[in-house]
Structure 1
Amino acid sequence: METEEVLQIQGISPKAGVYQIRLSEGTSFLVRPEYAKGSIDFSRLTEGSLIGASEKEALLFASSCYRIEREALRYISRAEQTKKGLFQKLHKKGHDRDQISRVIQFLENKGLVDDERYAASYISYRLGRGLYTPRQLLRALVARGIELALARQVYHSRVSPLQEREMLLRFVQKKGIADFPSSKLKQSLMQAGFRKDLVTEYLLQKSEKGNL
């Protein structure tokens, strides 16, 4: 029967929630406790403590997660990230899916990755630049990794009926469709994602003006 490998911790120093650990075999790594699989009690790990192979594996797993975290933070430092977008970038680098998921969960808990905040910022920025329709905004958010339900929720919380009406008027003017028959104009506006009540109101006002 094989005897489980037992290693001794020769050095351990916690700093800002991260432990630097050095084992008797010469391995040295940085570990964030939140990433460790199993039930390792870091408060009881001291210099001279003995650990088995399974505990070493858990520590190495956590160490890999911490390296991924540092890479993720470099992406975040350059630009706001979505959970899905960040996952894809890290996975393309060859990192383990489970480890990436743990890292993103940790960053989300810390408020460093927030899809709702990303969507709100994106919508606010785009509203003041160029011609965008509701459908274009939602599609752009989904393409960046935001769930459609969340994208819709944020859109309706950030874009007032007055703002959307202004978007509608700009859309009609830019596309040159003001003189379209009502049925065709309505179809174009609905396909662009404008709210039904705003489309109805616009068409009614347009009809009333035409009858003056």
Structure 2
Amino acid sequence: MYIERIEQLEKGRRRLVFETGERLVLYKGEIRSYDLSEGQDIPETLYQELLCDVLGKRATKRAMHLLEKQDRTEYQLREKLRQNEYPKEAVEQAIAYVKSYHYIDDLRYACSYVRYQKEKKSNRRLQQDLQKKGVAKEFIEQALLEEGNEDETDAIQRLLEKKGYTPEMPREQANKIYQFLLRRGYKSSDILYVMRSEYLT
């Protein structure tokens, strides 16, 4: 593996760029310790050591730190590590480690998300949100089945009451509440049904 160049980064880090296009970000002390320099051809065994023993372990620590701050989906954690410039192999090593201890569990994440957000959002909106977070379709469906809104008219009613809606309210004000519910992903027909029904009288 031929080191084409070494680029200087912030916080004492250096980016090793190989002729193959591979990139490894190491600390200045690690480069010194492994006696690495531009124009050097390093053996594959050393490259693998840097990849797994140095960066794989660091990516795992980083993943644990990120999960301590907040729960994340596998996709979100993968993206965060990728943004931190960890190579694919190091990211996979970190993901495999945290998955083995169930520190990430997309089904658990989806169920928790639906449970705490269903009072404010429709099933359709919850589904869209979880899709954006990279949760698999089958996990989303299971979470909505277990934790979702069985009757969305009840959820709409609660939100209308929370907003202080009454059928006698000025049209402009009622329209703002209607738009608010649309943004939450509720169907127009369901919103209008509840707004016009005896639920709120």
User: Same fold, TM exceeding 0.5?
Assistant: yes
Amino acid at match of 1:132: K
Q: Is the 8 A contact 1:133 1:171 kept in 2?
A: no
127, 130, 136: which one aligns with 1:147:
136
Query: How far is 1:86 from its partner?
Result: 0.9
Q: Does 1:167 align with 2:155?
A: yes
- Offset, 1:26: 5.4
Aligned residues: 149
Q: Which has the larger radius of gyration?
A: 1
Letter in 2 for 1:137: L
Q: Is the 8 A contact 2:123 2:149 kept in 1?
A: no
Higher normalized contact order (CA 8 Å, seq sep 6+, divided by chain length): 2
1:194 deviates by: 7.5
State the TM-score, normalized to the length of structure 2.
0.55
Residue aligned with 1:151, SS: helix
Q: What residue identity is the alignment partner of 1:58?
A: Q
Kindly indicate whether the alpha-carbon contact (under 8 Å) linking 2:60 and 2:93 is maintained by their aligned counterparts in 1: no
2:67 to 63, 71, 76: 76
User: Under a length normalisation based on structure 1, what TM-score does the superposition of the two structures give?
Assistant: 0.53
2:146 to 140, 157, 169: 157
**CA displacement at 1:168 relative to structure 2:** 4.6
Q: Residue by residue, what CA displacement relative to the aligned partner does 1:25-80 show, whole Å, maximum 9, x if unpaired?
A: 954xxxxxxxxxxxxxxxxxxxxxxxxx4444333221211111111111111000
User: Which one of 66, 88, 91 corresponds to residue 97 of structure 1?
Assistant: 88
C-alpha spacing 1:90/1:26, structure 2 compared with 1 (3 Å): closer
Counterpart code for 1:109: S
Could you list the structure 1 runs, at least 4 aligned residues long, displaced by more than 6 angstroms after superposition: 171-174, 192-195
